Chain A
Amino acid sequence: MNRVIRPILIVLVLSSFPAGLFAAEIGTSAVTFNLQQISEISVTGSPTLTISSAVAGQQPQPVTDATSRYAISTNGTNTRITASIDREMPVHTSLEIRLAAPGSGTSLGYVTLSPTPADVVTGISHVASGSRTVTYRFSATTAAEVFSASYTVTFTLTD
């Protein structure tokens, strides 16, 4: 007599919540902190630079003024400061500017001012710095005409 053995599968599923495991429900709330680009610069000081004499046989010595200051706040990366004046200087004269780096970035030293914005500090990133020195240097040759004028210097903090 042949016996056929048939497997019987019994699946016993027991579920329970053991002690120490409790039901939990979840609620959520979104928080968005929207930080905008911040690029602020301010400048103080209205210096007067005068060339009134020269040593006989030599060109007049340039005059400098370092009483002006600037302050900067930016959360940008690799930003730069440019400077320009509202019109051209008279021929045979030159007005230059030098800004101390604000703890970040590189000062380009003395830069000649013109109506075209020129970089004066580059590579500025994530900085808040106040009271940094602005130095002006005014030069003229003996070929320059006598003149007196006011110029407006514009500083721009840009990407």
Chain B
Amino acid sequence: MVMVMPAPVQAVDITVVGSWTEFIDQADLTGGAGTNLTGTYTSMTNVNIVAITNTTGRTDNWRVDIKRVDTTWDGSLRLSARRTSSGSGTGRITGGTSYLQLTTSDQTLFSGRGDRFDVSIQLRVTGASLTLSPNQYITTVQYTVIDMP
């Protein structure tokens, strides 16, 4: 038996810290009884802190894709994400400063090169209304860093 194993590939790492829970009750009606929910809910500007590490250096290009992985999410709730800071580090970062509506398929949120730390992400939900039944609507935001040539 002859086995030829490839040389190990250095993989860029991504670390995501933080989660977001939003409670909605009658205080969220726009004007009390007879009115609907405000409909738009925005997280803190740094609800997620993202770090891109283990690059080969400041010329190592990468991109970050993002999507929803639903547990009990409702399709009428539109979840969006945007980058609110560039963080720090030797590399660079571009894109993602406008809200991107998440789907269940990967879309590129931002890209860059080299290591970046403390990149802030803000999330937003729109489309909430009284047509939704009381429930916990749960999804997972999945960030994928892809090392580029």
A residues adjacent to B (C-beta < 8 A): 9-17, 19, 22-42, 70-77, 126-131
Contact = CB atoms under 8 A, between A and B. Distances in A.
Nearest to B28: A38
Given A26-B143, A31-B19, A40 B33 contact: yes
A40 B11 CA distance: 54
Nearest to A131: B34
A27 B143 contact: yes
A130 B33 contact: yes
B146 interface: yes
B147 A22 contact: yes
Nearest to A36: B25
Contacts of B143: 26-29
Given A22-B146, A27-B143, A75 B136 contact: no
B140 A15 contact: no
A32 B15 contact: no
A25 B2 contact: no
Interface of B, secondary structure class, is strand
A34 B16 contact: no
Contacts of A130: 33-35
B35 A128 contact: yes
B134 interface: yes
A127 B93 CA distance: 45
B109 interface: no
A29 B140 contact: yes
A71 B25 contact: no
A107 B110 CA distance: 54
B48 A34 contact: no
Given A13-B3, A33-B73, 13 more contacts: A23-B10, A25-B144, A27-B142, A27-B144, A33-B24, A35-B128, A35-B135, A38-B29, A38-B130, A39-B26, A40-B26, A40-B32, A128-B35
Contacts of A29: 16, 18-20, 47-48, 140-141, 143
B45 interface: no
Interface string B1-39: 111111001111111101111111110010011111100
27 contacts: A10-B1, A11-B1, A22-B146, A25-B13, A26-B145, A27-B50, A28-B140, A28-B142, A29-B20, A30-B138, A31-B139, A32-B22, A32-B136, A32-B137, A33-B125, A34-B24, A34-B137, A36-B134, A38-B24, A38-B26, A39-B26, A42-B33, A71-B32, A71-B34, A73-B35, A73-B36, A126-B132
A14 B138 CA distance: 42
B94 to A, nearest CB: 18
